[in-house]
Copies of this chain bind each other. A is one copy, B any other.
Amino acid sequence: MNNRITTLFQIKYPIIQAGMVWCSGWRLASAVSNAGGLGIIGAGSMYPEVLRLHIQKCQAATDLPFAVNVPLLYPNIEEIMQIIVEEGVKIVFTSAGNPATWTGLLKENGITVVHVIANTKFATKAEACGVDAIVAEGFEAGGHNGREETTTMCLIPMIADAVQIPVIAAGGIGSGSAMLAAFALGAEAVQIGSAFAVAEESSAHNNFKSGIIAANEGDTKLQMKKLVPVRLLKNTFADAVAVAEAEGANPEALKQLLGRARAKLGMFEGNMEEGELEIGQVSALLKEIKPAAKILKTIWQEFLTEKERLNRLEFPA
């Protein structure tokens, strides 16, 4: 291991699978960890006791490191954090909230903490709170996203420049060439969501996986900017949001349109018209459903091949 991220997590490859709601249970996380990357259980769509079960099953399925992702705005956050400590989770990725609130407690319990951000302000704040690494997530990423709309190409150099701790790039990365681009920009690892959402071990509904594979360019859109921006796959629901937004709908009207449990309806129950389908732009480049280990190895091999190709290019000095 010869990179700050592989050393920090004690993993073979600097490839991290994003902790996605309704996709990232123990099956996906353990498959990625067993393949040499870092698997993450996504707590955001789990009741506390469901999370406990997923942690225990993940521990039984792999001896290798894995993590739990916790959106800090989770309503039962105290319970979630208690379970994480009780169950001996070693690595936690926090997102969507203030890193000051929980980083201290997690670190006191010997847990490695990584915080997900989309701008420099929160990157430097998270570093000041003592987190061990940063995930910098660009505009093209699926799900919830930053208001600045800064793309991965522009965000990674900004964050790598602003913090001393290692930076993990996210958004638009589903191949070895995109991973290499992220490294060129200053990242020391990548966090990959969409490409693992379609893994065989992902708990996403098969309708959702098929929809991701069928997606073409322009089929996702960053919406709900008056609430919290979220990148969604276009469908009947997303089209209704687009119409409402074009007509100037206020936050209250958007909340009403969203209603409750739409992400579960779409991503987990497979309602492809009325569900909320969180996925990244890179879905347009995904072509098949494969085991997580094969996805990881394909990306890694392409990363090495493309690194070699770049190296062979010769130019005048």
State the A residues within 8 Å of B (CB).
Answer: 2-3, 12-14, 119-120, 138-140, 147-155, 157-158, 171-173, 175, 177-178, 180-186, 217-218, 221-222, 226, 246-249, 281-282, 284-285, 304, 306-307, 310-311, 313-317
B184→A154 contact, CB < 8 A: no
Tell me whether A246 and B221 are in contact in the complex, defined as CB-CB below 8 angstroms, given that A139-B151, A140-B153 are known contacts. no
**Complex interface: chain B residues within 8 A of A221 (CB):** 149
A164 to B154, CA, bound (A): 28
**Complex interface: chain B residues within 8 A of A306 (CB):** 184
Nearest-CB distance from A35 to chain B (Å)? 12
A153→B171 contact, CB < 8 A: yes
Name the contact of A151 in the complex, choosing from B185, B249, B281 (C-beta under 8 A). Answer: B281
8 A-B pairs closest in CB distance = A248-B248, A148-B218, A153-B172, A181-B181, A180-B184, A181-B184, A151-B151, A247-B248
Nearest-neighbor residue (CB-CB) of A148 within chain B:
B218
**Complex interface: chain B residues within 8 A of A310 (CB):** 180, 183-184, 307, 310-311
B175→A3 contact, CB < 8 A: no
Name the contact of A315 in the complex, choosing from B2, B140, B151, B153 (C-beta under 8 A). Answer: B2
A218 to B121, CA, bound (A): 11
Nearest-CB distance from A235 to chain B (Å)? 17
B150→A281 contact, CB < 8 A: yes
6 sample A-B contacts, Cβ–Cβ < 8 Å, listed by A number: A13-B316, A140-B153, A154-B281, A157-B175, A158-B217, A304-B315
B181→A119 contact, CB < 8 A: no
Interface centre among A154, A180, A247 (most CB of B within 10 A): A154
Tell me whether A315 and B180 are in contact in the complex, defined as CB-CB below 8 angstroms, given that A151-B138, A217-B148, A285-B157 are known contacts. no
A153 to B2, CA, bound (A): 26
A311→B307 contact, CB < 8 A: yes
A92 to B132, CA, bound (A): 50
**Complex interface: chain B residues within 8 A of A157 (CB):** 175, 177-178, 285
Name the contact of A153 in the complex, choosing from B158, B173, B226 (C-beta under 8 A). Answer: B173
A285→B154 contact, CB < 8 A: yes
Name the contact of A158 in the complex, choosing from B120, B171, B185, B285 (C-beta under 8 A). Answer: B285
A317 to B307, CA, bound (A): 12
Nearest-CB distance from A309 to chain B (Å)? 9
Nearest-neighbor residue (CB-CB) of A222 within chain B:
B149
B150→A153 contact, CB < 8 A: no
**Complex interface: chain B residues within 8 A of A14 (CB):** 315
A315 to B13, CA, bound (A): 8
A285 to B182, CA, bound (A): 17
